Protein backbone atom coordinates (compact mmCIF):
# COMPACT_ATOMS: atom_id res chain seq x y z
CA UNK A 1 0.00 0.00 0.00
CA UNK A 2 1.29 3.48 -0.82
CA UNK A 3 2.38 5.63 2.13
CA UNK A 4 -0.04 8.29 0.88
CA UNK A 5 -2.96 6.05 1.85
CA UNK A 6 -1.61 5.44 5.34
CA UNK A 7 -2.24 7.76 8.25
CA UNK A 8 0.64 9.40 10.07
CA UNK A 9 1.14 7.61 13.37
CA UNK A 10 0.88 10.67 15.62
CA UNK A 11 1.72 9.13 19.04
CA UNK A 12 4.91 7.60 17.67
CA UNK A 13 5.75 10.78 15.78
CA UNK A 14 5.36 12.76 19.02
CA UNK A 15 7.54 10.18 20.85
CA UNK A 16 10.25 10.53 18.19
CA UNK A 17 10.14 14.33 18.13
CA UNK A 18 10.13 14.69 21.94
CA UNK A 19 13.03 12.23 22.28
CA UNK A 20 14.94 14.21 19.64
CA UNK A 21 14.30 17.46 21.50
CA UNK A 22 15.46 15.87 24.77
CA UNK A 23 18.73 14.62 23.25
CA UNK A 24 19.27 17.95 21.45
CA UNK A 25 18.90 19.76 24.77
CA UNK A 26 21.33 17.44 26.58
CA UNK A 27 23.92 17.54 23.81
CA UNK A 28 23.82 21.30 23.36
CA UNK A 29 23.90 22.13 27.06
CA UNK A 30 26.21 19.44 28.39
CA UNK A 31 28.66 18.78 25.56
CA UNK A 32 28.67 21.32 22.76
CA UNK A 33 26.96 22.63 19.68
CA UNK A 34 28.95 20.40 17.32
CA UNK A 35 27.53 17.33 19.04
CA UNK A 36 24.08 18.79 18.46
CA UNK A 37 24.89 19.23 14.75
CA UNK A 38 26.14 15.61 14.57
CA UNK A 39 22.86 14.49 16.13
CA UNK A 40 20.74 16.51 13.68
CA UNK A 41 22.76 15.17 10.75
CA UNK A 42 22.13 11.67 12.14
CA UNK A 43 18.38 12.36 12.08
CA UNK A 44 18.70 13.45 8.45
CA UNK A 45 20.59 10.26 7.63
CA UNK A 46 17.95 8.15 9.39
CA UNK A 47 15.11 9.80 7.47
CA UNK A 48 17.00 9.39 4.17
CA UNK A 49 17.89 5.74 4.80
CA UNK A 50 14.30 4.88 5.72
CA UNK A 51 12.48 6.82 3.01
CA UNK A 52 14.80 5.58 0.24
CA UNK A 53 15.00 2.05 1.78
CA UNK A 54 18.70 2.50 1.20
CA UNK A 55 20.36 -0.70 2.30
CA UNK A 56 23.41 -2.49 0.99
CA UNK A 57 22.22 -5.95 2.05
CA UNK A 58 19.03 -6.23 0.01
CA UNK A 59 20.59 -4.43 -2.95
CA UNK A 60 23.53 -6.79 -3.14
CA UNK A 61 21.21 -9.79 -2.71
CA UNK A 62 18.96 -8.57 -5.52
CA UNK A 63 21.95 -8.44 -7.80
CA UNK A 64 23.41 -11.79 -6.69
CA UNK A 65 20.09 -13.63 -7.01
CA UNK A 66 18.30 -11.81 -9.83
CA UNK A 67 21.00 -9.64 -11.40
CA UNK A 68 18.77 -6.66 -10.53
CA UNK A 69 21.40 -3.91 -10.52
CA UNK A 70 19.24 -0.91 -9.53
CA UNK A 71 20.35 -0.71 -5.87
CA UNK A 72 23.99 -1.34 -6.75
CA UNK A 73 23.90 1.32 -9.45
CA UNK A 74 22.50 3.87 -6.99
CA UNK A 75 25.24 2.91 -4.52
CA UNK A 76 27.92 3.42 -7.17
CA UNK A 77 26.47 6.83 -8.02
CA UNK A 78 26.55 7.68 -4.33
CA UNK A 79 30.20 6.62 -4.15
CA UNK A 80 31.02 8.66 -7.27
CA UNK A 81 29.48 11.82 -5.79
CA UNK A 82 31.24 11.21 -2.48
CA UNK A 83 34.61 10.64 -4.19
CA UNK A 84 34.36 13.99 -5.96
CA UNK A 85 33.28 15.97 -2.91
CA UNK A 86 35.40 14.26 -0.25
CA UNK A 87 38.58 14.28 -2.32
CA UNK A 88 38.27 18.03 -2.72
CA UNK A 89 37.67 18.75 0.97
CA UNK A 90 39.81 16.18 2.81
CA UNK A 91 42.85 17.76 4.47
CA UNK A 92 41.33 21.22 4.11
CA UNK A 93 39.92 23.47 6.82
CA UNK A 94 36.37 22.84 7.97
CA UNK A 95 33.69 25.49 7.49
CA UNK A 96 32.45 24.77 10.99
CA UNK A 97 35.54 24.70 13.20
CA UNK A 98 39.15 25.78 13.05
CA UNK A 99 40.91 22.61 11.98
CA UNK A 100 41.53 20.24 9.11
CA UNK A 101 39.20 17.40 8.15
CA UNK A 102 40.70 13.95 7.74
CA UNK A 103 39.77 10.90 5.71
CA UNK A 104 38.96 7.34 6.80
CA UNK A 105 42.31 5.72 5.98
CA UNK A 106 43.09 2.29 7.40
CA UNK A 107 45.66 -0.46 6.75
CA UNK A 108 45.18 -2.93 3.91
CA UNK A 109 45.86 -6.36 5.33
CA UNK A 110 44.57 -9.73 6.41
CA UNK A 111 42.31 -8.16 9.03
CA UNK A 112 40.41 -6.13 6.40
CA UNK A 113 40.15 -9.13 4.06
CA UNK A 114 38.88 -11.50 6.75
CA UNK A 115 36.70 -8.92 8.47
CA UNK A 116 34.97 -7.65 5.34
CA UNK A 117 34.36 -11.21 4.08
CA UNK A 118 32.79 -12.16 7.43
CA UNK A 119 30.77 -8.94 7.42
CA UNK A 120 29.47 -9.47 3.87
CA UNK A 121 28.49 -13.04 4.70
CA UNK A 122 26.83 -12.08 7.98
CA UNK A 123 24.83 -9.12 6.70
CA UNK A 124 22.84 -11.50 4.52
CA UNK A 125 21.90 -13.49 7.63
CA UNK A 126 21.30 -10.52 9.89
CA UNK A 127 19.12 -8.78 7.31
CA UNK A 128 20.96 -5.48 7.31
CA UNK A 129 24.40 -3.90 7.26
CA UNK A 130 25.69 -1.36 9.79
CA UNK A 131 23.45 1.53 8.73
CA UNK A 132 20.70 -0.89 7.65
CA UNK A 133 20.55 -2.48 11.09
CA UNK A 134 20.27 0.94 12.71
CA UNK A 135 17.52 2.35 10.54
CA UNK A 136 15.42 -0.82 10.48
CA UNK A 137 15.80 -1.26 14.25
CA UNK A 138 14.79 2.39 14.60
CA UNK A 139 11.69 1.91 12.48
CA UNK A 140 10.10 -0.74 14.68
CA UNK A 141 11.62 -3.98 13.41
CA UNK A 142 12.11 -6.16 16.51
CA UNK A 143 14.14 -8.76 14.65
CA UNK A 144 16.66 -6.04 13.79
CA UNK A 145 16.80 -5.02 17.45
CA UNK A 146 18.00 -8.58 18.10
CA UNK A 147 20.53 -8.17 15.26
CA UNK A 148 21.71 -4.92 16.85
CA UNK A 149 22.15 -6.51 20.29
CA UNK A 150 24.32 -9.28 18.82
CA UNK A 151 26.12 -6.75 16.61
CA UNK A 152 27.19 -5.03 19.84
CA UNK A 153 28.32 -8.34 21.35
CA UNK A 154 30.27 -9.25 18.20
CA UNK A 155 31.97 -5.84 18.16
CA UNK A 156 33.03 -6.34 21.77
CA UNK A 157 34.55 -9.76 21.05
CA UNK A 158 36.15 -8.31 17.90
CA UNK A 159 37.81 -5.65 20.02
CA UNK A 160 39.17 -8.43 22.30
CA UNK A 161 40.79 -10.13 19.27
CA UNK A 162 41.75 -6.87 17.54
CA UNK A 163 45.40 -7.11 18.51
CA UNK A 164 45.76 -10.61 17.01
CA UNK A 165 44.18 -9.63 13.68
CA UNK A 166 46.03 -6.36 13.21
CA UNK A 167 49.38 -8.13 13.74
CA UNK A 168 48.75 -10.31 10.69
CA UNK A 169 50.48 -9.29 7.42
CA UNK A 170 49.50 -5.87 6.17
CA UNK A 171 50.58 -3.43 3.48
CA UNK A 172 49.84 -0.54 5.81
CA UNK A 173 47.62 2.43 5.03
CA UNK A 174 47.50 3.33 1.36
CA UNK A 175 45.81 6.57 0.41
CA UNK A 176 45.62 7.54 -3.25
CA UNK A 177 45.85 11.17 -2.15
CA UNK A 178 49.42 10.45 -0.95
CA UNK A 179 50.48 9.33 -4.43
CA UNK A 180 48.29 11.34 -6.77
CA UNK A 181 46.83 14.83 -6.97
CA UNK A 182 43.21 15.40 -6.02
CA UNK A 183 42.14 15.52 -9.66
CA UNK A 184 44.03 12.30 -10.47
CA UNK A 185 42.54 10.57 -7.40
CA UNK A 186 39.05 11.59 -8.45
CA UNK A 187 39.61 10.45 -12.05
CA UNK A 188 41.13 7.07 -11.08
CA UNK A 189 38.27 6.28 -8.72
CA UNK A 190 35.56 7.54 -11.08
CA UNK A 191 36.95 5.37 -13.88
CA UNK A 192 36.84 2.33 -11.55
CA UNK A 193 33.28 3.14 -10.48
CA UNK A 194 32.21 3.70 -14.09
CA UNK A 195 33.75 0.36 -15.11
CA UNK A 196 31.85 -1.35 -12.28
CA UNK A 197 28.63 0.44 -13.27
CA UNK A 198 29.02 -0.77 -16.87
CA UNK A 199 29.84 -4.32 -15.78
CA UNK A 200 26.84 -4.75 -13.47
CA UNK A 201 24.54 -3.10 -16.04
CA UNK A 202 25.76 -5.56 -18.68
CA UNK A 203 25.26 -8.53 -16.35
CA UNK A 204 21.77 -7.25 -15.51
CA UNK A 205 20.92 -6.85 -19.20
CA UNK A 206 22.29 -10.29 -20.12
CA UNK A 207 20.13 -11.95 -17.47
CA UNK A 208 16.93 -9.89 -17.69
CA UNK A 209 17.04 -8.85 -21.35
CA UNK A 210 16.27 -5.26 -20.42
CA UNK A 211 17.66 -2.49 -18.26
CA UNK A 212 16.16 0.85 -17.46
CA UNK A 213 18.74 3.28 -16.08
CA UNK A 214 15.95 5.62 -14.99
CA UNK A 215 14.56 3.07 -12.52
CA UNK A 216 16.61 4.65 -9.76
CA UNK A 217 15.02 8.05 -10.36
CA UNK A 218 11.47 6.87 -9.76
CA UNK A 219 10.00 5.78 -6.42
CA UNK A 220 8.21 2.49 -5.78
CA UNK A 221 4.89 4.33 -5.51
CA UNK A 222 3.73 7.96 -5.74
CA UNK A 223 6.59 10.16 -4.57
CA UNK A 224 6.02 12.16 -1.42
CA UNK A 225 8.97 13.92 0.21
CA UNK A 226 7.55 13.84 3.74
CA UNK A 227 5.89 10.42 3.79
CA UNK A 228 8.13 8.65 1.32
CA UNK A 229 9.02 6.52 -0.48
CA UNK A 230 11.92 8.31 -2.11
CA UNK A 231 13.57 7.21 -5.33
CA UNK A 232 16.98 5.58 -4.82
CA UNK A 233 18.80 8.48 -6.44
CA UNK A 234 17.37 10.90 -3.88
CA UNK A 235 18.64 8.55 -1.16
CA UNK A 236 22.11 8.55 -2.76
CA UNK A 237 22.22 12.35 -3.02
CA UNK A 238 20.90 12.99 0.48
CA UNK A 239 23.33 10.51 2.05
CA UNK A 240 26.26 12.25 0.35
CA UNK A 241 24.82 15.63 1.38
CA UNK A 242 24.54 14.67 5.06
CA UNK A 243 27.90 12.84 4.99
CA UNK A 244 29.53 16.00 3.69
CA UNK A 245 28.17 17.97 6.63
CA UNK A 246 29.12 15.17 9.00
CA UNK A 247 32.71 15.54 7.83
CA UNK A 248 32.53 19.34 8.17
CA UNK A 249 31.20 19.10 11.73
CA UNK A 250 32.97 16.03 13.10
CA UNK A 251 36.18 16.41 11.11
CA UNK A 252 36.03 12.86 9.75
CA UNK A 253 33.70 10.81 7.53
CA UNK A 254 30.49 9.28 8.87
CA UNK A 255 30.99 6.05 10.80
CA UNK A 256 28.69 3.66 12.63
CA UNK A 257 30.22 0.59 14.21
CA UNK A 258 32.80 2.05 16.59
CA UNK A 259 29.88 2.97 18.84
CA UNK A 260 28.61 -0.62 18.94
CA UNK A 261 31.91 -1.85 20.36
CA UNK A 262 31.91 1.05 22.80
CA UNK A 263 28.39 0.25 24.04
CA UNK A 264 29.39 -3.39 24.46
CA UNK A 265 32.56 -2.44 26.34
CA UNK A 266 30.64 -0.16 28.70
CA UNK A 267 28.12 -2.91 29.45
CA UNK A 268 30.96 -5.41 29.97
CA UNK A 269 32.67 -2.95 32.30
CA UNK A 270 29.45 -2.48 34.22
CA UNK A 271 29.10 -6.22 34.87
CA UNK A 272 32.69 -6.45 36.07
CA UNK A 273 34.70 -7.48 33.00
CA UNK A 274 38.03 -5.68 32.94
CA UNK A 275 37.79 -4.33 29.40
CA UNK A 276 40.40 -1.64 30.10
CA UNK A 277 43.08 -4.33 30.11
CA UNK A 278 42.36 -5.28 26.48
CA UNK A 279 44.85 -3.71 24.11
CA UNK A 280 42.16 -2.19 21.86
CA UNK A 281 40.67 -0.27 24.79
CA UNK A 282 44.13 1.04 25.66
CA UNK A 283 44.48 2.75 22.29
CA UNK A 284 44.28 6.52 22.25
CA UNK A 285 40.67 7.28 21.46
CA UNK A 286 38.99 4.02 22.60
CA UNK A 287 40.46 4.43 26.11
CA UNK A 288 39.17 7.99 26.30
CA UNK A 289 35.75 6.99 24.96
CA UNK A 290 35.48 4.20 27.54
CA UNK A 291 36.04 6.61 30.42
CA UNK A 292 33.95 9.43 28.97
CA UNK A 293 30.18 9.80 28.84
CA UNK A 294 28.82 7.68 26.00
CA UNK A 295 27.06 10.79 24.66
CA UNK A 296 30.44 12.48 24.16
CA UNK A 297 31.23 9.94 21.46
CA UNK A 298 30.16 11.43 18.09
CA UNK A 299 29.51 8.01 16.53
CA UNK A 300 27.07 7.20 19.33
CA UNK A 301 25.39 10.56 18.85
CA UNK A 302 24.94 10.09 15.09
CA UNK A 303 23.66 6.53 15.65
CA UNK A 304 20.99 7.77 18.08
CA UNK A 305 20.08 10.38 15.47
CA UNK A 306 19.74 7.68 12.81
CA UNK A 307 17.50 5.56 15.06
CA UNK A 308 15.26 8.54 15.86
CA UNK A 309 15.29 9.78 12.26
CA UNK A 310 14.11 6.38 11.06
CA UNK A 311 11.49 6.26 13.81
CA UNK A 312 10.15 9.68 12.80
CA UNK A 313 10.22 8.78 9.08
CA UNK A 314 8.39 5.51 9.67
CA UNK A 315 5.75 7.29 11.79
CA UNK A 316 5.31 9.80 8.95
CA UNK A 317 4.95 6.98 6.44
CA UNK A 318 2.33 5.30 8.64
CA UNK A 319 4.16 1.98 8.44
CA UNK A 320 5.61 1.89 11.95
CA UNK A 321 2.58 0.15 13.40
CA UNK A 322 3.11 -2.93 11.26
CA UNK A 323 4.69 -4.89 14.07
CA UNK A 324 4.75 -8.54 13.28
CA UNK A 325 5.68 -11.65 15.19
CA UNK A 326 9.02 -13.21 14.38
CA UNK A 327 9.87 -16.88 14.27
CA UNK A 328 12.72 -18.77 15.92
CA UNK A 329 14.67 -19.34 12.72
CA UNK A 330 14.73 -15.63 11.95
CA UNK A 331 15.82 -14.85 15.49
CA UNK A 332 18.66 -17.35 15.13
CA UNK A 333 19.70 -15.75 11.84
CA UNK A 334 19.55 -12.31 13.46
CA UNK A 335 21.73 -13.48 16.37
CA UNK A 336 24.30 -15.19 14.17
CA UNK A 337 24.34 -12.43 11.54
CA UNK A 338 24.51 -9.65 14.11
CA UNK A 339 27.35 -11.26 16.03
CA UNK A 340 29.46 -11.97 12.95
CA UNK A 341 28.82 -8.50 11.52
CA UNK A 342 30.04 -6.93 14.73
CA UNK A 343 33.11 -9.13 14.81
CA UNK A 344 33.87 -8.55 11.12
CA UNK A 345 33.40 -4.79 11.34
CA UNK A 346 35.94 -4.54 14.14
CA UNK A 347 38.59 -6.43 12.16
CA UNK A 348 37.82 -4.60 8.92
CA UNK A 349 38.07 -1.08 10.43
CA UNK A 350 34.38 -0.45 9.96
CA UNK A 351 31.29 -1.47 8.08
CA UNK A 352 29.78 -0.53 4.74
CA UNK A 353 29.70 3.10 5.95
CA UNK A 354 32.96 3.61 7.87
CA UNK A 355 35.10 1.38 5.63
CA UNK A 356 33.42 1.10 2.22
CA UNK A 357 31.76 4.51 1.87
CA UNK A 358 34.17 6.51 4.04
CA UNK A 359 37.23 4.60 2.80
CA UNK A 360 36.55 4.91 -0.92
CA UNK A 361 35.38 8.51 -0.58
CA UNK A 362 38.67 9.27 1.22
CA UNK A 363 40.77 7.59 -1.48
CA UNK A 364 41.86 4.75 0.81
CA UNK A 365 42.66 1.40 -0.76
CA UNK A 366 41.17 -0.45 2.21
CA UNK A 367 37.71 0.76 1.11
CA UNK A 368 38.07 -1.01 -2.24
CA UNK A 369 39.42 -4.20 -0.62
CA UNK A 370 36.50 -4.08 1.81
CA UNK A 371 34.04 -3.75 -1.12
CA UNK A 372 35.50 -6.75 -2.98
CA UNK A 373 35.70 -9.16 -0.05
CA UNK A 374 32.39 -8.13 1.52
CA UNK A 375 30.70 -8.75 -1.83
CA UNK A 376 32.32 -12.20 -2.08
CA UNK A 377 31.16 -12.90 1.48
CA UNK A 378 27.64 -11.85 0.49
CA UNK A 379 27.64 -14.30 -2.43
CA UNK A 380 28.20 -17.13 0.09
CA UNK A 381 25.86 -15.50 2.63
CA UNK A 382 22.97 -15.40 0.14
CA UNK A 383 23.26 -19.18 -0.30
CA UNK A 384 23.51 -19.77 3.44
CA UNK A 385 20.57 -17.46 4.18
CA UNK A 386 18.18 -19.94 2.57
CA UNK A 387 18.48 -22.17 5.66
CA UNK A 388 16.82 -19.45 7.74
CA UNK A 389 14.52 -17.41 5.52
Partner 1 sequence: MKLIYFFIITLFFGVLIFEHNNKGVFYNPLFHEEGGNSINSIAMPCGLGGSKNHNHK
* Residues of this chain, 116-175, that bind partner 1 according to CB under 8 A: 140, 142, 145, 166, 173, 175
Q: CA-to-CA distance for 119 and 123, rounded, in angstroms?
A: 6
Scan residues 39-98 and list those touching partner 1 (CB under 8 A): 97
Contact with partner 1 (CB under 8 A): which of 5, 92, 100, 206? 100
| 35 lies in the binding site for partner 1 (CB under 8 A) | yes
Q: 364 φ, ψ to 5°?
A: -95, 135
Q: Is residue 299 within 8 Å of residue 155, measured between CB atoms?
A: no
Min dist. Cβ of residue 138 to partner 1 (A) = 8
Does 319 engage in binding with partner 1 (CB under 8 A)? no
Residue 28 makes contact with partner 1 by CB under 8 A: no
From 42-50, 121-129, 191-199, 291-299, span contacting partner 1 (CB under 8 A): 291-299
Closest contact distance (angstroms) between CB of 244 and partner 1 is 14
CB 352 within 8 A of CB 361: no
Task: Select the span of 120-128, 189-197, 216-224, 283-291 touching partner 1 (CB under 8 A).
Answer: 283-291
HEC assignment per residue over 109-174 = EHHHHHHHHHHHHHHHHHCCCHHHHHHHHHCCCHHHHHHHHHHHHHHHHHHHHHHHHHCCCEEEEC
- The residues in 326-365 that bind partner 1, with binding defined as CB under 8 A, are 345-346, 349-351, 353-355, 358-359, 364
* Residue of 389, 381, 382, 351 whose CA lies nearest to 367: 351
> Could you say which of 110, 188, 283, 380 contacts partner 1 (CB under 8 A)?
283
Does 309 contact partner 1 by CB under 8 A? Answer: no
Using DSSP, state whether 39 is helix, strand or coil: helix
Other CB atoms within 10 Å distance of the CB of residue 183: 10
Residue selected from 10, 210, 214, 325 as contacting partner 1 according to rule CB under 8 A = 325
Amino acid sequence: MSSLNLKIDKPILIYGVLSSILFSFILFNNIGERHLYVFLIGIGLGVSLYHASFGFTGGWRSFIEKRDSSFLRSQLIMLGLAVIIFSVFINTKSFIYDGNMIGAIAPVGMSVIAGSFIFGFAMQLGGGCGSGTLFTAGSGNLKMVVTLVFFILGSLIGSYHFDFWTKLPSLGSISLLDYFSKIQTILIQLILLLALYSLISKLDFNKNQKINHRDITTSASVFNFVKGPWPLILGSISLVFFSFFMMQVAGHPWSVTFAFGLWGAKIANFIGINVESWSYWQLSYPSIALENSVLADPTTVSNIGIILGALIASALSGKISKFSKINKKLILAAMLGGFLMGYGARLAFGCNIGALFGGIASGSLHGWVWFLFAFLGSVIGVKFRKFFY
